[in-house]
Structure 1
Amino acid sequence: MFQKFQETAAPEQGPGRLAALRDVLAAEALHGFIVPRSDAHQGEYVAPRDDRLAWLTGFTGSAGYCVALRDSAGVFVDSRYRVQVKAQVADVYTPVDWPEVGLAEWIGEALPEGGRVGFDPWLQAVEPLRALQGKLESVTLERCDNLVDRIWEDQPAPPMGRVFVQSLELAGEAHGDKIARLAGTLGRAKTAVITLPDSIAWLLNIRGSDIARNPVAHGFALLHSDGTLTLFMEHEKLSDLGDHLGPQVSVAPPESFLAAIATLGGPVAIDPATCPVIVADTLAEAGVEMIEAQDPCVLPKACKNEVEIAGSRAAHLRDGAAMVRFLAWLDAQPPGSLSEIDVVTALEGERRATNALRDISFETISGTGAHGAIVHYRVTEKTNARVEDGHLLLVDSGGQYVDGTTDITRTVAVGRVGEEEAHAFTRVLRGMIGISRARWPKGLAGRDLDALARVPLWEAGLDYGHGTGHGVGSYLCVHEGPQRLARTGTVPLMEGMILSNEPGFYREGAYGIRIENLIVVSGAPLLAGATVPEMLSFETLTYVPIDRRLIVTEMLTRAETDWLNAYHATCRARLEPLVEGATKDWLIAATEPL
């Protein structure tokens, strides 16, 4: 099994660890210390060595902060984790609704007379720190070494996973051509600093294993305007690459990174959203001119080429057949006979049976009943619940295949489900269909489309707290920027971008609903008489039946019904040749038209 079910949160250890941190604060004459969930590379995902937020507080979500002061400690979490955090942190920590309450506001109220709050300059990016500093009037932020590392006696070692080649047949463009292409976009900059692990992996057509579920390796890179690149990564990780990197790429040890950037002739481009403060400090101290610009890999990586899109289609077809085998099996089990762990185990088994699975793309969310309302619920041996009659079972999962990354959520009925749940499910489905059917002029961003998924819920005074969709990598991270379907999605949607389409609804303490397909932005055919010549639309990548038993058909419009029937007909046509026996019978029944 890729997925394990041990309890990783340790609320009972939080008070002692916080007390030890406060001893260090006193010794350093600091009033507080900021603990983000980040590492020196500023990606979303961290290795066990860098999971300081979880070690200190017990909170295991994928985003958040702790601000530990001498007499109070806030754990800042967004709407996805507000149920989860209550169960994972001890009462010495105060959960804070973030970003509604910002770090600066909270720190300013906690230290009204001023004070000194420390932070690790490797773990804070330039722009977030600048914004924080700009809002603090009397509190001083001070660079220091990592105070959590001082008290973490059994801190894991840095990851040292081997790096391997993502072949040209899967990447669609040689890494030398990528380097040359991006070097030509640097403008005045002579060098661009790259810290994001997935940017480096994409640019060099390599993959790694330093982060669970995400095939990336830790390192830094300098992209030079002359079409060369310096990679700062341990040679031991690169021993399986042979001559793949070629003469354009030189390799240096990571510990030489700061010294190397101090010798650069400017201007040097840094991405203020992801560049660690210590990098900007080093450049400034060396007198090197800096230009703030987006990581040059981010947008090209997001716009998948035809080879990557074809690979994603193939991966989703393979994954869809595994999902259908799982759903057919699930429906055959009597209510109450399964646990949440049984569900996870069975689904991973079907994906493994493809003989193509490299990893799961994230920890499978298998939430029955009230657990479904915990947006990023992770089942453990301690929380494992029975899947009972009358429950909704929410299963959010995905696979990592060399040709694509998948992410799919299906919410299914177990036995007889109530009318409230069916009405909410239908509203969520209508929102998902609204995104799927969307056509829009080029230049619009995710924030311009996000409401399409929410209108059916808004009509009933309902909503959900997370975004409607995130970007997805090509055998890379399942969460990828800069594209988003969300109120915060400001980047125009462009052809080749893969996103999730996953509206939901959550009744805390009762049930959760989410329906998710992956979609890719594509050109929309010109309609007769149209006055907007360039339109975009979405191509659906995920083809797995949606539970018809939960649909209140009279709530659907004719256009929505037609879309769903066409979707199910395509599910049947694409998947029927890949399954047999009872699974084929289930598929045929599950895709009957409404």
Structure 2
Amino acid sequence: MTAQSFPPTVFQSFSETADPKNVAPRLAALRAEMAKAKLDGFLIPRADAHRGESVPPGDARLAYITGFTGSAGIAIVGTERAALFVDSRYTLQAPAQTDTTLVDAIETGQGGLSAQIGDYVGPGGRLGYDPWLHTPGEIKDLTEKLGDKFTLIASSNLVNAIWTDRPGAPVSSVEFLGHNRAGKNASDKIADLQKTLSDESADAVVLTLPESICWLLNMRGRDVPNTPFVLSFAVVPATGLPTLYLDQAKITPEITAALQGKADLADSARLSDDLRQLGSAKNTVLIDPATVPQAIASTLSQSGAKILEKRDPILLPKSRKNQVEIAGMVEVHNRDAVAMAKFLHWFDQTAPAGKTTEIDIVTALEAFRREDETCVDASFDTISGSGPNGAIIHYRVTNGSNRTLQPGEIMLVDSGAQYLSGTTDITRTMSTGSSTAEQRDRFTRVLKGMIAISRARFPQGTSGAQIDVLARQYLWQVGQTYNHGTGHGVGAFLAVHEGPIGISPRHTVPFDAGMIFSNEPGFYKAGEYGIRIENLLIVQPSTLGENYLDFETLTLVPIDRRLIEAELLEPAEREWLNAYHQRVWTEIGPRLTGEVKQWLQSATAPI
């Protein structure tokens, strides 16, 4: 099968969505609006009012102004200078996509806004921001960092004012999961949430995260790419029915009937008025200061509500998957493993010829996944990085950046899919021929770190921050590391990046049974190659005793043994790898036939 025989991709395009030539005229137009509003600066986050990783086209304001298309970042546009702040994942991508003669691309840490924002406004300046796109936590953080150097001004969105062809709000179909996919009725979830509100002495909670609302109501949609979200807001009282706020165009008789007795429906345009009524009644309203828009917090407090700041009370229950959700995730990882086996077999047959491009690889992988009728989307744009492009942590191939994989180069493919019963995320780094001693050393050290996390056993109360070092230790031994987290939470047919749990120094929420994580250490040598190995794990009770937990691996796809320096593996690591590959063969082999099955048997042979 050749690359040309695959159908075109449906889940991902390769068009150049950003052009640095647009930066100058758009900055000029924005500064004209700033002058009208008497502002000395304006903040442009990569966010919508729902704080999702994927945003609708009409909310991609950061990309519109700066050209940067990454999933995290913020720009400050001053009257004379502008800056784009990104974390370490995007230090190569950001300057490549924007006009660096007009926009400074600055690396900053994840979480919180940079105090350097003040350098682009000037002492005593007026800094404007859209209160629907920033949280109370962000505004508080920025105020504390910059003190009285300037004044923060809530403003209408000035980017909207100059974006004459801005796409409208998405209107997509809405589906409701049956018990066979959700595992718990919406009414029971609402009752649990209302008990939490009662325990917190709160009269209501305002929910703005679509993953929380969709999970609560067993609802899914297609409002944004890659994630089955319905963009909405919800107010849940301590007693009585919640109110779900949707774009009026989404409110249909079918949705009304599906939510009968579970939630009332209202036009999103009514939200602010209803919040004012909550406030005027002197209600205590729970909001998450890390996720709710500042506009909602201001409306509540100014109308007389007592604000109770707590983490979104759905995040933790949602992260603890029930047995039905776990069964769905196990099944879709088996389905995904079949597609991955077909893909890796195809890759080994075609890549060494030196004619396969990064786009060919994305196209082939999507085609193999789409053979499964339950696959409905990619869970994110596939990272298909050949040779030096593999060192760009969140690389997205386009028609302009597409390169042909050369024999002997390392190929990094980080991908995932949305199936009707779950979400997958997997990275494999593949050999195309000979490799260097350094590449094998780094690959093996990354593998050792991944195995260390996989084999971890720990007492209850342990967090990702405490075990992150297990994955990094082998790279540290040779003076190397990687500039991203080791793992993130994953939803069940929801967001592929799910809070509040993860494996990194900043993730302090303890593990609990049923949580699903990625395990993905890596190594990147700029301009040469990148390495990452990623499996998904589920937290489970340990055989050590009732107070201990450990991980079970969900992902069942071979790890490229050709890149392993076997002498670097300890006996226990070798044993784990051989047992893992035996499990892959035992569980996935029967689902395959012919050459692919023969390939899998060879790829999972012990070392």
Tell me which interval the TM-score lies in, with the shorter structure as reference length.
Answer: over 0.9
1:250 corresponds to 2:264: yes
Identity %, equivalent residues: 48
Offset at residue 108 of structure 1 (A): 3.0
**Counterpart of 2:446 in structure 1: which amino acid?**
V
The CA deviation string for residues 460-514 of structure 1, in whole angstroms up to 9 with x for no partner, is 1110000000110100011100001011101111111111000000001000000
After the TM superposition, which residues 482-521 of structure 1 pair with which residues of structure 2 at under 5 Å, given as runs?
482-521=500-539
Q: Could you tell me which of 217, 237, 243 is aligned with 1:224? A: 237
2: CA distance between counterparts of 1:225 and 1:101?
Answer: 32
Aligned twin of 1:312: 329
Unpaired runs of 5+ residues, structure 2, are 1-9
Deviation at 1:101, TM superposition (A): 11
Partner residue, 2:274: 260
Query: Which position in structure 2 is the counterpart of 1:273?
Result: 290
Alignment partner of 1:203 out of 186, 204, 216: 216
Q: Which of 90, 94, 109 pairs up with 1:99? A: 109
| Aligned residue in 1 for 2:374 | 356
Letter in 1 for 2:195: G
Query: Cα distance, 1:162 vs. partner?
Result: 1.4
- Following superposition, the deviation at residue 238 of structure 1 comes to 4.3
Check conservation: 2:415, 2:427, Cα contact below 8 A.
yes
Measure the CA separation in 2 of the matches of 1:359 and 1:257: 31
Partner of 1:530: none
Specify the SS of the correspondent of 1:308. helix
Cα distance between partner residues in 1 of 2:315 and 2:112 = 27
SS at 1:562 equivalent:
helix
The answer (yes or no) to whether the contact 1:441–1:535 under 8 Å persists in 2 is: yes
CA distance in 1, matches of 2:310, 2:111: 28
User: 1:44 is matched with which residue: 53, 72, 89?
Assistant: 53
Task: Tell whether the 8 Å contact from 2:54 to 2:226 is kept in structure 1 after alignment.
Answer: no
Match of 2:159 in 1: 148
1:117 and 2:127 are equivalent in the alignment: yes
Are 1:175 and 2:186 counterparts? yes
Q: Report Cα offsets for 1:153-194 as digits up to 9, x if no partner.
A: 110011111111111110000001100111100121110000
> Counterpart amino acid of 1:330?
F
Is residue 394 from structure 1 mapped to residue 408 from structure 2 by the alignment? no
Per-residue deviation, residues 104-132 of structure 1 (Å, max 9, x unmatched): 52133344522111000000011111111
Could you tell me which of 470, 494, 507 is aligned with 1:476?
Answer: 494
Residue in structure 1 matching 2:471, options 435, 439, 453: 453
2:19 to 7, 10, 33: 10
The residue type paired with residue 192 of structure 1 is: V
The residue identity in structure 1 corresponding to 2:357 is S
- Structure 1 residue 284 corresponds to structure 2 residue 301: yes
Q: CA deviation at 1:356?
A: 1.6
| Alignment check: 8 A CA contact 1:335 1:387 kept | no
- Mean CA deviation greater in 425-434 or 111-120: 111-120
How many Å separate the matches in 2 of 1:42 and 1:366? 26
The residue that corresponds to 2:588 in the other structure is 575
Question: Secondary structure of the equivalent of 2:427?
Answer: strand
1: CA distance, partners of 2:243 / 2:111: 40
Find the residue that maps to 1:332 and give its secondary structure: helix
CA distance in 1, matches of 2:112, 2:118: 10
Q: Within the alignment, does 1:58 sit opposite 2:67 as a pair?
A: yes
The SS at the match of 2:92 is helix
Aligned to 2:87: 78
Please list, as runs of the form range in 1=range in 2, the aligned pairs for 1:487-566 lying within 5 A after superposition.
487-526=505-544, 534-566=547-579
Measure, in 2, the Cα distance between the counterparts of 1:585 and 1:248: 51
Question: Where does residue 141 of structure 2 map in the other structure?
Answer: 131
Shift of 1:102: 6.8
CA distance in 2, matches of 1:101, 1:580: 47
Residue by residue over 1:192-221, the C-alpha shift from the partner in whole angstroms, topping out at 9 and shown as x without a partner, is: 000001111100001001111100011100
1:379-390 equivalences under 5 Å are 379-390=397-408
- The gaps in structure 1 that reach 5 residues or longer are 528-532
Name the counterpart of 1:214: 227
Q: In structure 2, how many angstroms separate the alpha carbons of the residues matched to 1:89 and 1:361?
A: 26
Q: In terms of mean alpha carbon deviation, does 384-393 or 112-121 score higher?
A: 112-121
Distance 2:110 2:224 in 1: 30
**Residues 352 and 436 (structure 1 numbering): CA distance in 2 closer, same or farther, change over 3 Å?**
same
